[in-house]
């Protein structure tokens, strides 16, 4: 019988400094995969933790004037806090300084020693402390620098225990060749095959020149090499080597060790050969994802080009950060981070495409059907295209998710978001609403939109964990009934379900304002001059002056009162494919319902301004005299975005 368990791990990160968004990428990937598998009924186990021993940590603690344990305790608190903020659902957090880990590592060492694959000899060679890696003369070259990170290496000459790694070269190669999924993606697999073919040497697995580590069980002058110690976490955390090894029995071998490409070699060569020597099963897959780059190269602590995920979460919310990381970094390749790119993703994909699809649909159901989802009784043009795409996307996205290809899974899901938005343009519900005879068709269109929203929302749940509940509340769906990909059968939304409009799920971000550190701009609205008589003409302007104004037809797709004010309305208007937010002081003259569906006139190139915390991206035109005010609108069927000259 196929095992229904799923065990995934992240690297255990070094607590030499706080984590950056590169680390968050790995952990968010693992969390998304866990949530996805859980949604399919798997019994999942998700492990992360901290790699606390070694010379690098010992030196960092010394530089900070602290004892190593005091130093790492503080930093590890920060790791755990970050994972909570990102809603990471790890089942355990292993620290290599915990007793449960240390005793188990000593057992693994002893087992391999007793079996004859560990011996004592003298090591003479080069060591890179930041990478905690030994290198040969040839590898460090004339400059004596680390071939991985480029920093200077140190000459080490000491008595050491060695692991007979070379003995397992052929067996490892055979395993990799016979199990094409063992190393993924395939480019990493090829790199590792070549590396192994160039010859494996025995591995030095103890150090004597510092003591921040786990003592070698047979000789306490030595501490165990930090990678031997660290890699073992994947089984020590499950209770391997203790009387309580139920988790080990249940979940090992791991389904996926998810790591960055920098440490694929340790996971696909050192770790499997240790397991072979200890006569234990090998993990099913090691997946090496690409790096997050900034404009100065790989984001890393040592380069000082890191971005603090906590700052981003506070500014943009955890769902947006998770979405960005998974959407922007192509599977297996490197990807770029910039704050502009992040804001762009939020505004385009999340606020405009998805958020507006939800708010427009809900607003129309409120307006035309008093908030009650109608029955889909009158099929029509474009329905089939939308429905068959929804089904196709559900399959396609699942295929990508299974391969940890989140960027393509999200791209696929957004095909449906965009198709649904296009369906609104094609079916034009606001015109159907004008003709009582077309009410049945209007109901069907809105029903189909709710279904498309339900499909998308269920599929993005593993990526953006707080969004589904917000959307279910708006479309009146039951969260419990929308938890499994295989529930995605078209037509599950019940007729009569009540919608309820709430705040925008993803408000648009004002790029300039965010980058100036969130400085509040003063609202730039003129006071209404209700008491005034006909105003005198303003000074003459030229045609060029007039041409600076970008006036457009804008279709109001959603509208609501701004909380705690009696003057302001917040409108969502459509200009071609773009949807903008406008705050306007017309609440005394119009109800939101009166405006939705209207085609109004707006100044599109007015500098955005913030009103009551909402960024207004344009101004609508209205004529007024005394207490009377009328919003200027067009009657003909001109699409939103049409220019007014
Ligand atoms: O290597 N882009 O810990 P570490 C993408 N303790 N991922 C990145 C990244 C970037 N710019 N920077 C870091 C260690 N990462 C060892 C692991 S496991 C038994 C021991 C992620 O703190 C990526 O997953 O240096 C990378 O492999 C890991 O952080 C390295 O974390």
Q: What's the per-residue H, E or C state across 284-302?
A: CCEEEECCEEECCEECCHH
Does residue 24 contact residue 82 with C-beta atoms inside 8 Å? Answer: yes
Measured from the Cα of 261, ligand 1's closest atom is: 27
Does residue 13 contact residue 265 with C-beta atoms inside 8 Å? Answer: no
**In this predicted structure, which of 115-129, 164-178, 514-528 has the lowest mean pLDDT?**
514-528
Mean pLDDT score, 56-70:
95
Asked if residue 79 has pLDDT above 70, the reply is: yes
Predicted confidence at residue 522, as pLDDT, reads 35
Mean pLDDT score, 546-566:
88
Half-sphere exposure of 213 (CA within 13 A, CB side): 28
Mean pLDDT score, 246-272:
97
Q: Give the residue from 524, 503, 516, 535 showing the smallest Cα distance to 615.
A: 524
- For ligand 1, residues with CB inside 6 Å are 11-14, 22-23, 25-26, 51, 230-231, 233, 259-260, 262-263, 291-292, 298-300
> pLDDT tens for residues 307-357?
999 999 999 999 999 999 999 999 889 999 999 999 999 999 999 999 999
- C-alpha span between 476 and 502 (Å, rounded): 12
Asked if residue 373 has pLDDT above 80, the reply is: yes
Predicted confidence at residue 544, as pLDDT, reads 83
Q: 317: CA distance to ligand 1 center in Å?
A: 23
Predicted confidence at residue 297, as pLDDT, reads 83
Ligand 1 pocket test: which of 13, 48, 267, 272 has the largest number of ligand atoms within 8 Å of its C-beta?
13
Ligand 1 pocket test: which of 9, 11, 294 has the largest number of ligand atoms within 8 Å of its C-beta?
11
Ligand 1 pocket test: which of 19, 262, 272, 291 has the largest number of ligand atoms within 8 Å of its C-beta?
262
Q: 113: CA distance to ligand 1 center in Å?
A: 29
Asked if residue 276 has pLDDT above 80, the reply is: yes
Ligand 1 pocket test: which of 108, 263, 290 has the largest number of ligand atoms within 8 Å of its C-beta?
263
Predicted confidence at residue 67, as pLDDT, reads 96
Q: 76: CA distance to ligand 1 center in Å?
A: 15
Mean pLDDT of the chain: 92
Measured from the Cα of 19, ligand 1's closest atom is: 22
Measured from the Cα of 11, ligand 1's closest atom is: 18
- C-alpha span between 615 and 618 (Å, rounded): 9
Predicted confidence at residue 253, as pLDDT, reads 98
- C-alpha span between 52 and 128 (Å, rounded): 17
**In this predicted structure, which of 167-181, 337-351, 352-366, 503-517 has the lowest mean pLDDT?**
503-517
Predicted confidence at residue 2, as pLDDT, reads 59
Predicted confidence at residue 519, as pLDDT, reads 45
Mean pLDDT score, 189-200:
94
Predicted confidence at residue 597, as pLDDT, reads 83
516 pLDDT tier (thresholds 50, 70, 90): low
């Amino acid at each position: 019988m196929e095992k229904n368990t799923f065990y995934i791990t992240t690297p255990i990160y070094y607590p030499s400094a706080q984590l950056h968004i590169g680390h968050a990428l790995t952990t968010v990937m693992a969390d998304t995969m866990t949530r996805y598998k859980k949604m399919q009924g798997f019994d999942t186990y998700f492990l992360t933790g901290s790699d606390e021993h070694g010379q690098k940590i010992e030196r960092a603690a010394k530089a900070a004037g602290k004892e190593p344990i005091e130093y790492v305790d503080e930093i590890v608190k920060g790791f755990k806090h970050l994972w909570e903020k990102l809603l990471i659902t790890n089942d355990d957090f292993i620290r290599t300084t915990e007793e449960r880990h240390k005793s188990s590592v000593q057992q693994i060492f002893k087992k391999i020693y007793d079996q004859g694959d560990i011996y004592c000899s003298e090591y003479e060679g080069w060591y890179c402390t930041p990478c905690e890696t030994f290198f040969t003369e040839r590898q460090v070259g004339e400059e004596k620098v680390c071939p991985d990170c480029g920093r200077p290496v140190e000459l080490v000459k000491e008595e050491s225990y060695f692991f007979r790694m070379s003995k397992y070269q052929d067996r490892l190669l055979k395993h990799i060749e016979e199990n094409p999924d063992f190393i993924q993606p395939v480019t990493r697999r090829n790199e590792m095959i070549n590396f192994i073919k160039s010859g494996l040497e025995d591995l030095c697995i103890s150090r004597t020149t510092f003591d921040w580590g786990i003592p070698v069980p047979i000789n306490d002058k030595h501490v165990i090499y930090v990678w031997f110690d660290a890699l073992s976490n994947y089984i020590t955390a499950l209770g391997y080597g203790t009387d309580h090894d139920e988790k080990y029995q249940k979940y090992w071998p791991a389904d996926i060790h998810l790591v960055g490409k920098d440490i694929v070699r340790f996971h696909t060569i050192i770790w499997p050969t240790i397991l072979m020597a200890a006569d234990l099963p090998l993990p099913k897959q090691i997946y090496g994802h690409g790096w997050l780059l900034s404009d100065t190269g790989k984001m890393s602590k040592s380069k000082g080009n890191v971005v603090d995920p906590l700052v981003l979460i506070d500014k943009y919310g955890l769902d947006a950060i998770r979405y960005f990381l998974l959407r922007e970094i192509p599977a297996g390749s490197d990807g770029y981070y910039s704050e502009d790119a992040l804001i762009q993703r939020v505004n385009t994909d999340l606020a405009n495409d998805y958020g507006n699809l939800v708010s427009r649909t809900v607003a129309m159901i409120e307006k035309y059907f008093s908030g009650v989802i109608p029955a889909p009784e009158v099929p029509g043009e474009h329905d089939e295209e939308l429905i068959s795409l929804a089904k196709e996307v559900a399959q396609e996205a699942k295929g990508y998710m299974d391969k940890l290809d989140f960027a393509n899974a999200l791209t696929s899901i957004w095909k449906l978001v965009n198709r649904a938005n296009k369906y609104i343009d094609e079916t034009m519900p606001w015109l159907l609403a004008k003709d009582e005879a077309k009410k049945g068709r209007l109901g069907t269109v809105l029903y189909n939109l709710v279904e498309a929203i339900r499909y998308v929302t269920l599929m993005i749940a593993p990526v953006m964990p707080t969004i589904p509940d917000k959307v279910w509340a708006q479309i009146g769906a039951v969260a419990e009934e929308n938890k499994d990909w295989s529930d995605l059968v078209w037509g599950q939304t019940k007729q009569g379900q009540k919608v309820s409009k709430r705040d925008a799920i993803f408000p648009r971000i004002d790029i300039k304002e965010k980058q100036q550190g969130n400085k509040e701009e003063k609202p730039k609205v003129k006071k209404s001059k209700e008491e005034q008589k006909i105003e005198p003409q303003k000074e003459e302007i030229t045609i060029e002056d007039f041409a600076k104004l970008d006036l457009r037809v804008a279709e109001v797709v959603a509208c609501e009162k701004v909380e705690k004010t009696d003057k302001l309305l917040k409108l969502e208007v459509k200009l071609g494919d773009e949807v903008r937010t406008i705050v306007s002081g017309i609440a005394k003259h119009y109800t939101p319902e009166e405006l939705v569906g209207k085609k109004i006139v707006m100044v599109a190139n007015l500098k955005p301004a913030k009103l009551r915390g909402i960024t207004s991206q344009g101004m609508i035109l209205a004529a007024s005299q005394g207490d009377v005010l009328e919003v200027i609108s067009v009657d003909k069927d001109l699409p939103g975005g049409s220019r007014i000259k």
